[in-house]
């Protein structure tokens, strides 16, 4: 079971990362580069923090409270390669988590079932946190990084638990508790930084948010479909191997 889960996660994570990386390079990377020009013009020595809008969707951007410059990959090919590698690592990790949840919930792993859980992952890890903390471009004012990370994690966990109670447990008490968990982080409120006037056109921020969410949805959809397919493919190969061993 463990080997099967790992094999399916590697395949699904790789395929989802390929799709997401291609979309990032085409849709969000140009916006990040354009925003960095405005940030550089506004501050001669900006403080950078590497951001991947898929991996850290709710608080992608810059740690404005840092006193020392943080490491970031060099522009051009190194940045593209690092982004692709980070997306691949996160893809495999999310695929392992998706598979573990499917198995723990006692679901039959099929492409359609894994896609359903993948959409749940998108709602929990991407859409729900983005309601309070939309993806941020460089140069945008933001609260402290630790506060954003804590709120993002709490929102993702609460939303995932709420969706589980509403969609799987389905009892009246479970549905009521699930809805309360989904709404609670937004009632509490996400941390926000001071309001500042930026020279960056507002359309850049709107496009970045919309494109990041679209990429995240494509990532989770491919992750779910690919995991379900890979799970069945691994089972088929294991069955053939057992039959061959018996015959031999």
Q: What is the pLDDT of residues 148-191, one digit of tens each?
A: 899 999 999 999 999 999 999 889 999 999 999 999 999 999 99
Predicted confidence at residue 64, as pLDDT, reads: 42
How much is the average pLDDT of 97-114? 93
Q: Is the pTM of this model over 0.75?
A: yes
Please determine, for residue 18, whether its predicted confidence score (pLDDT) is greater than 80: yes
Please determine, for residue 92, whether its predicted confidence score (pLDDT) is greater than 60: yes
Separation between Cα atoms, residue 133 and residue 168, nearest integer Å:
28
Predicted confidence at residue 56, as pLDDT, reads: 44
Do 97 and 15 form a contact (C-beta atoms < 8 A)? Answer: no
CB contact burial 196-235 (16+ within 10 A = b; e otherwise): eebebeeebbebbbebbbebbbbbbbbbbbbbbbbbeebe
Do 73 and 82 form a contact (C-beta atoms < 8 A)? Answer: yes
Predicted confidence at residue 53, as pLDDT, reads: 46
Separation between Cα atoms, residue 148 and residue 192, nearest integer Å:
8
Separation between Cα atoms, residue 110 and residue 102, nearest integer Å:
10
* Token couple for 138: 């460089």
């Amino acid at each position: 079971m463990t080997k099967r889960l790992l094999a399916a996660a590697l395949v699904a994570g790789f395929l989802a990362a390929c799709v997401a990386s291609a979309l990032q390079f085409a849709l969000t990377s140009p916006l990040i580069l354009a925003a960095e020009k405005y940030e550089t013009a506004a501050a001669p020595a900006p403080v950078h923090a590497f951001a991947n809008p898929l991996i850290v969707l709710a608080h992608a951007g810059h740690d404005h409270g840092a006193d020392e410059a943080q490491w970031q990959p060099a522009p051009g090919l190194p940045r593209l390669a690092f982004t692709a590698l980070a997306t691949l690592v996160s893809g495999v990790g999310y695929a392992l988590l998706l598979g573990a949840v499917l198995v723990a919930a006692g679901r039959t792993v099929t492409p359609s079932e894994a896609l359903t859980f993948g959409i749940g992952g998108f709602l929990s890890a991407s859409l729900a946190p983005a309601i309070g903390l939309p993806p941020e471009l460089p140069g945008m004012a933001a609260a402290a990084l630790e506060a954003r990370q804590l709120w993002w994690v709490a929102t993702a966990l609460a939303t995932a638990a709420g969706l589980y109670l509403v969609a799987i447990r389905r009892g009246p008490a479970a549905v009521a508790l699930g809805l309360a968990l989904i709404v609670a982080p937004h009632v509490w409120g996400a941390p926000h930084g001071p309001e500042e006037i930026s020279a960056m056109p507002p359309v850049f921020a709107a496009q970045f948010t919309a494109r990041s969410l679209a990429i995240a949805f494509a990532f989770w959809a491919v992750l779910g479909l690919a995991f379900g397919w890979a799970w069945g493919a691994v089972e088929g190969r294991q069955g053939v191997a057992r039959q061959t061993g018996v015959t031999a």
